């Protein structure tokens, strides 16, 4: 049976990519130790990996990467939230799955592990990706309500991915709007340990979260799965209580519970 190897250095990652046969499906799980859904996903992936035998040549190879510790690799694969699964074959991304849906993860892996590698490739955002053919029934039988329910379930998981979650334009190291930049500054000034999601990288989340939260603008700050609000609301909360973020600061009670 296959097992999941933890990648801890850039050189280890480079060696892994270089050593794999072109036909091998590389299953890459990006995680963060503070995110509870990542622990659940690790269990799911370990179970799935055990179903694939170690063969010559390898049909699958399974690795796990701390998204924060190896941020260069995370950025290279547009990892904006965890857990995040990337499937790679012959150096090219064939599919990504964001969130902790075991059903979606299993379906993606089973699809690509069995796929004929001669399938045509398409270019999406400058990255070659092998795409499964879409049948006429797939195109015409889409249930909008079901799609919305699935999106809202995903959003429900995302807003709880960390005790404090920031949905922003850009990343903390490269904010793409002034309000997001100010929000990041406030969190840093208060030593808040937080997760983030770059809504510019996923338009489905960007549009869906507005309806899910009933809040039309970004950035949005969520605490313990509940929307607090945007920049003005956060400033107002701090104005009323300078210790507003204390439970979520590094060394605070929430941080200690997540450790």
Q: Where are the beta strands (DSSP E) in 76-194?
A: 84-89, 92-98, 121-124, 127-130, 164-168, 170-171, 174-175
- What pLDDT score was predicted for residue 228? 96
Q: Which residues of the chain have pLDDT under 70?
A: 1, 114-142, 252-259
Residues 6 or more apart in contact with residue 223 via CB below 8 angstroms:
163, 164, 165, 248
Q: Give the predicted TM-score (pTM) of the model.
A: 0.48
C-beta of residue 82 within 8 angstroms of C-beta of residue 38: yes
pLDDT digits (tens, 9 = 90+) for 3-25: 899 999 999 999 999 999 989 99
Domains within the chain, CATH numbers bracketed: 5-113 (3.40.30.10), 160-248 (3.40.30.10)
Rounded CA gap, 158 and 205, in Å? 9
φ, ψ for residue 2, nearest 5 deg: -80, 155
Q: Degrees (nearest 5) of the Cα angle 162, 163, 168?
A: 65
- What pLDDT score was predicted for residue 101? 81
Rounded CA gap, 161 and 153, in Å? 13
pLDDT digits (tens, 9 = 90+) for 134-159: 333 344 456 788 888 888 998 998 89
C-beta of residue 61 within 8 angstroms of C-beta of residue 77: no
- What pLDDT score was predicted for residue 34? 75
- What pLDDT score was predicted for residue 116? 39
């Amino acid at each position: 049976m296959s097992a999941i190897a933890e990648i801890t250095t850039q050189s280890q990652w480079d060696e892994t990519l270089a050593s794999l046969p072109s036909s091998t499906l590389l299953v890459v799980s990006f995680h963060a130790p503070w995110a509870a859904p990542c622990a659940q996903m690790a269990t799911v992936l370990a179970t799935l990996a055990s179903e694939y035998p170690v063969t010559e040549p390898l049909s699958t190879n399974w690795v796990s990467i701390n998204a924060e510790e190896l941020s260069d690799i995370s950025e290279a694969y547009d990892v904006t939230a965890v857990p995040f699964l990337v499937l790679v074959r012959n150096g090219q991304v064939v599919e990504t799955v964001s969130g902790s849906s075991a059903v979606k993860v299993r379906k993606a892996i089973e699809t690509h592990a069995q796929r004929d590698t001669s399938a045509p490739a398409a270019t999406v955002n400058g990255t070659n990706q092998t795409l499964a053919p879409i049948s006429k029934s797939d195109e015409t039988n889409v249930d909008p309500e079901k799609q919305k329910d699935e999106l809202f379930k995903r959003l429900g998981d995302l807003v709880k991915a960390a005790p404090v979650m920031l949905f922003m334009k850009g990343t903390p190291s490269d904010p793409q709007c002034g309000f997001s930049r100010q929000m990041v500054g406030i969190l840093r000034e208060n030593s808040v340990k937080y997760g983030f999601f770059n809504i510019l990288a996923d338009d489905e989340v960007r549009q869906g979260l507005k309806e899910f939260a009933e809040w039309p603008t970004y950035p949005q700050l969520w605490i313990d799965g509940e929307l607090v609000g945007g920049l003005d609301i956060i400033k107002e909360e701090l104005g009323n209580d300078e210790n507003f973020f204390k439970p979520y600061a590094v060394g605070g009670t929430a941080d200690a519970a997540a450790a």
